[in-house]
Copies of this chain bind each other. A is one copy, B any other.
Amino acid sequence: MKQTGDLNLVKKINKSIVLHHIRTDSPISRARIAEITGLTKATVSSLVNELMESSLVDEIGVGESSGGRKPMMLLFNGTAGYAIGVDLGVHDILAVLTDLTGKIVREKRVMHDNNSAEEVIEQLKTIIRELISSAPESVYGIIGIGIGVPGICDEDGNLLFAPNLGWENVSLQKQMEETFNIPVVIDNEANAGAVGEKQFGAGKDTANLVYISIGIGIGAGIIIKGELYRGATGFSGEIGHISIQHDGPKCRCGSLGCWELYASEHALLEQARREFGGAVTLDMLLGRAEAGEAEVIALFERLGYYLGVGVVNIINGYNPEFIILGGRLAGAEKWLMKPLLQLLEKRSLSHLRKLPKVEFSQLSDRSTVLGAASFAVAKFFASTTVSVERS
């Protein structure tokens, strides 16, 4: 049941620590690693040599002396393998090929009309096959696939429920692993987005952040002490169903007055339809707002207000340092930000704690793919240099 301790475990821990420093602080010397980790120079030397044998680390040449022998600088070899990250959206699929550092080397997007799960999964497999065949030669090849999905997943990579896709109980991980024969990770798109922002976006220097994905529904990924926080079972995607009005309109989830009914793309379009009539799309509304139509701008500003209401709840419930807003609606930043910030300022106990930073994503629509790819990379490293569970 529990992980017992032995010499093997010790080595895995230390190897993982050494690799971590080479990944994040490179270029770095053996001596410096020994200094910051507290391991002896001999131990670091031995572990680094093993990492070099497995092609994960390279010597890049000597560095500047600090008064003695020049250090040999080490670099993480990001091109020892490649990962695939996928954002499985409601209307499209965005997939990228990244190296082990998360750098995007190929990118593909296709639309899908979501006739059936089978068809979409076929499209998904096709796009992944194309990326795999376009990957550069490398020691480890394609080390894994990460997929962010708009719904709730379990720990075995089953997509339990994706209301906006209309899918239920799809064994996505299993299907993909059988097809490609490499490790596959499935997670909620907001969780993936949060990790993407933490690793590559605005959240790089923040240990506690919440990523809110405002799309057709609302989802949130929560990073606490640098790690993705998952509720008991696939928490995320549910935060949209925190009620902001206990006697409000009925939601399909059974509850009343859910946040999602006020602050999602779906809510926006519904409202626009009611007010203006006819067919409405987000792109249309963005265009009309851009053209200066006051009624449309007012619509976005109301959305900003409702976004703020939920954000205040999240601040009170999770106390993050940083809130990053992403997803399709992030494109409306221009009109959403002001009412949102106004509400935050008005409704928070400012003398007690400083207000968290609130920003829109810098990664445009790539938070999720990057996070998904980094799931795959993390799984790959976990299989070589394993981290310890608590005892």
Shortest C-beta distance, A259 to chain B (Å), equals 9
> Are A347 and B224 interface neighbours, CB within 8 A?
no
> Are A242 and B319 interface neighbours, CB within 8 A?
no
Shortest C-beta distance, A273 to chain B (Å), equals 22
Q: Taking the complex as formed, is A294 at the interface, i.e. its CB lies under 8 A from any CB of chain B?
A: no
- Bitwise interface map of A from 50 to 88 toward B, beta carbon under 8 Å scored 1, else 0: 000000000000000000000000000000000000000
Chain B residues whose C-beta falls within 8 Å of the C-beta of A20 in the assembled complex: 2, 391
> Are B391 and A254 interface neighbours, CB within 8 A?
no
Q: Taking the complex as formed, is A379 at the interface, i.e. its CB lies under 8 A from any CB of chain B?
A: no
Q: Taking the complex as formed, is A45 at the interface, i.e. its CB lies under 8 A from any CB of chain B?
A: no
Shortest C-beta distance, A166 to chain B (Å), equals 14
Within 8 A of B (CB), among A319-356: 319-321, 346-350, 352-353
Instruction: Name the residue of chain B whose CB is nearest to the CB of A348.
Output: B254
Q: Taking the complex as formed, is A198 at the interface, i.e. its CB lies under 8 A from any CB of chain B?
A: no
> Are B245 and A242 interface neighbours, CB within 8 A?
no
Chain A interface mostly: loop
> Are B1 and A5 interface neighbours, CB within 8 A?
no
> Are B317 and A242 interface neighbours, CB within 8 A?
yes
Chain B residues whose C-beta falls within 8 Å of the C-beta of A207 in the assembled complex: 232
Chain B residues whose C-beta falls within 8 Å of the C-beta of A247 in the assembled complex: 245
Q: What class of interface size applies to chain A in its complex with B?
A: 35 or more
> Are A239 and B317 interface neighbours, CB within 8 A?
yes
Instruction: Name the residue of chain B whose CB is nearest to the CB of A2.
Output: B17
Q: Taking the complex as formed, is A359 at the interface, i.e. its CB lies under 8 A from any CB of chain B?
A: no
Chain B residues whose C-beta falls within 8 Å of the C-beta of A321 in the assembled complex: 232
Once A6-B10, A36-B1, A388-B391 are accepted as A-B contacts, the answer to whether A313 and B242 lie under 8 Å apart by CB is: yes
Contact among B10, B232, B238 for A5, CB-based, below 8 A: B10
Of residues A5, A207, A225, which shows the largest number of chain B Cβ atoms within 10 Å of its Cβ? A5
> Are B10 and A254 interface neighbours, CB within 8 A?
no
Within 8 A of B (CB), among A223-276: 224-225, 227, 229, 231-235, 238-239, 241-247, 253-256, 258, 262
